[in-house]
Amino acid sequence: MSTAPKSLGLDADLHAYLVAHGTPPDPVLERLAVDTLAMGAISRMQIAPEQGSFLTMLARLLGARLIVELGTFTGYSSVCLARGLAEGGRMICCDVSEAYTNRAVQAWEEAGLRDRIDLRIAPGADTLRALPFDPPIDLAFIDADKTGYATYYEEILQRMRPGGVIAVDNVLWGGAIIDDSDTSADTLALRAFNDMVLADDRVESVMLPIADGLTLCRKR
C-alpha cells in the first residue's frame, strides 16, 4: 500500500522548535553535548536531544529494571536511558573504547547515575553472550557498529522478557538505506538488518523518523 507521506522534513528552525517543546536537556546533557561537539566530525555519533528524551520516556513507560546498551560513546544516550530506570534498576553499557567512555563515566557521576551503570569494555557480542537469561532484559538500545546489529539483536532477543523492547538507531542511514548505488558494508548490513526485523515473527516493529531513523521491536 502506498500513501502520501505525512512526515515533515525538519530544517534547523523547525528542529529547534521541536526540541524546545519537549523536556529540555539539563545542564549535564548540555555540557556533554558541547564537549562531544568539540571532538569534531566523530560527534555525529551522539544521539539527538529529542531522541534522548524519547528513550527516557520509553524506559519509564516500560518500567525497565534492566537496560542494555550497545554503543555508549560519550554517554548521552546512557544518561537518558538510566534516568528512566525503575527504582532499583540497573543498566549494562557495552563499548570497546575507554577513551570515549571516560567522558561517559564523568557524565554518569555528574548526573548521580554511576551506581546504576555497569560499563563493559569488550566486543559487544562477547558481553551479550556472557549475560544470564535471568533476570531478563526489559529494554535495549543498539547504536554500535552496523555490521554487528544482527548479532546484537539476536543475543538480546533471546534474553529479553515478553513485552520488552529493542530500540535500534540509524535505520534510515541518512537516506542511504534506499540508495542502490551505496554498497558500503555498513549500508548493506543495515538493509539486511531492516529486512530481517520485518520478517521476524517473534517481534512486532515500527520504524520511526526520529533523528536518523529509530526502529522499535517489541518481543511478542
- Taking only the tens place, the pLDDT of each residue in 50-106 is 999 999 999 999 999 999 999 999 999 999 999 999 999 999 999 999 999 999 999
Domains of the chain by range and CATH? 12-219 (3.40.50.150)
Cα separation, 135 vs 158, in Å, equals: 12
Cα separation, 78 vs 46, in Å, equals: 11
Cα separation, 178 vs 182, in Å, equals: 8
pLDDT digits (tens, 9 = 90+) for 11-30: 999 999 999 999 988 999 99
pLDDT score of 2 more than 90: no
203-208 β-sheet, strand order: 117-121, 90-95, 66-70, 137-142, 160-169, 214-219, 203-208
The pLDDT of residue 24 is 86
* Confidence band of 3 (pLDDT split at 50, 70, 90): low
What is the rounded average pLDDT for all residues in the chain?
96
Cα separation, 69 vs 67, in Å, equals: 7
The pLDDT of residue 45 is 95
Question: Which of 109, 90, 70, 81 shows the shortest CA–CA distance to 193?
Answer: 70
The pLDDT of residue 9 is 83
Half-sphere exposure of residue 197: CA atoms within 13 angstroms, side-chain side: 26
Average pLDDT, integer, range 161-187: 98
SS3 of 136, please?
coil
pLDDT score of 4 more than 70: no
